[in-house]
A and B are shown apart, each in its own frame.
Chain A
């Protein structure tokens, strides 16, 4: 261990860092609450949209739409949801790792897929790996994320899918399990799985009526508008969940950083006191030695 002054300096530096991490922990905790509230606010829309689609499907079981049809996959679009900033523990790394493992397993060359990066970290990751990027500019995932923020890119891949340019769209994101636990997951959002909408039985009094809907102007055009909305909604739900995961991950990371800093300071203080005692002992022997010499 170094001199007393060096130790003192390190204690001060560690203390200041721990103050910052503690503040970040508290900020993330309050942001997490907000993100959870956003998820709750978003739920009614998902519920009603699913119910609406279910009712449309109910009236016509054999309904067909390109979004439901799975086809031979030539080109896949991967949407990676990450954060804009780091210091969130393994949050971004785990998504990227899951993505790379998946890609290595399913693709031989990087020409077979394109990436839509949501968040600065994903953008720079995709650029570093030289993947084909759908969005030419960074799309920031703000804390108060809105549809509008990523509408350009979502329109892009939905149109691309309907035009046959892309055949499959998969999202990689962090699923929010609880505050301590987030899981990197992937989910296919296009082609859309028909089954959840068929199984859903809306539990209202209207159930007993045989539903005969008027479509304005036609069933097909209603579906053409409704289905992209459902897809974007699913994506938006994932973004909200990823946002909550990000804050939770950052909170946990900052908590452990603060705890580590505390441990470090305790150790350093021990060393400091030892060094101090040592210095006093030396001083004392000097004085006693000096006094003896005078006598």
Chain B
């Protein structure tokens, strides 16, 4: 079976797998084996366990759609991360999200501060009157 995971920044994962286990908060768990009937499901917060021979990987997903037909599995995710186990991958994704939001907040604050200072120095320099 072929599995493709796509995120806004491009193709995240594109490999052959033996079978997958899909787990999500809204729909619970199910597995998709080879020659499964066409299926569509969604993932709000969850993961996909991808099994190939004896090894397996986890892709954690936030807001995604999974579609399988004719042994092509198509996963579309707004945010996703591949890891060796689900906890570490989820932690990583959450950490990245948290850092990003924190950084955004900081940037906004810095930006507003800089904007205020700029306005102040323009006023003080009386640039418009020269």
Contacts and interface: CB of A to CB of B under 8 A. Distances in A.
Interface of A: 38, 41-42, 44-45, 48-49, 52, 55-56, 84, 120, 137-138, 140, 142, 146-149, 206, 209, 211-217, 221-222, 225-226, 229, 232-233, 236
A216 B38 contact: no
Contacts of A216: 27, 30, 39-41
Contacts of B44: 225
B113 interface: no
A225 B42 contact: yes
B111 A222 contact: no
Interface in B58-117: 63, 65, 67, 69-70, 74, 76, 78-79, 97, 100-101, 104, 107-108, 111-112, 115
A38 B10 CA distance: 9
Contacts of A206: 69-70
B126 interface: no
Given A84-B111, A232-B78, A221 B8 contact: no
A84 B112 CA distance: 11
Which of B40, B97, B107, B112 has the most A CB atoms < 10 Å from its CB? B40
Given A215-B40, A225-B63, 13 more contacts: A38-B9, A45-B6, A48-B6, A48-B74, A146-B8, A147-B8, A147-B78, A148-B97, A213-B40, A215-B41, A222-B42, A225-B65, A229-B78
Nearest to A137: B108
Given A48-B76, A147-B79, A213-B38, A226 B8 contact: no
By secondary structure, the A interface counts as: helix
Contacts of B104: 140, 142, 149
Given A149-B104, A215-B41, A216-B40, A229 B65 contact: yes
Contacts of A225: 26, 42, 44, 63, 65
Contacts of B42: 221-222, 225-226
Contacts of A55: 40, 67
- 3 closest A-B pairs by CB: A216-B41, A225-B42, A41-B10
Nearest to A149: B104
Given A214-B40, A225-B42, A45 B65 contact: no
B96 to A, nearest CB: 9
Interface string B29-48: 01000000111111010000
B82 to A, nearest CB: 17
22 contacts: A41-B8, A44-B11, A48-B74, A48-B76, A49-B76, A52-B65, A55-B67, A138-B111, A138-B112, A146-B8, A147-B79, A148-B79, A149-B100, A149-B104, A206-B69, A206-B70, A212-B37, A213-B39, A222-B41, A226-B42, A226-B65, A236-B8
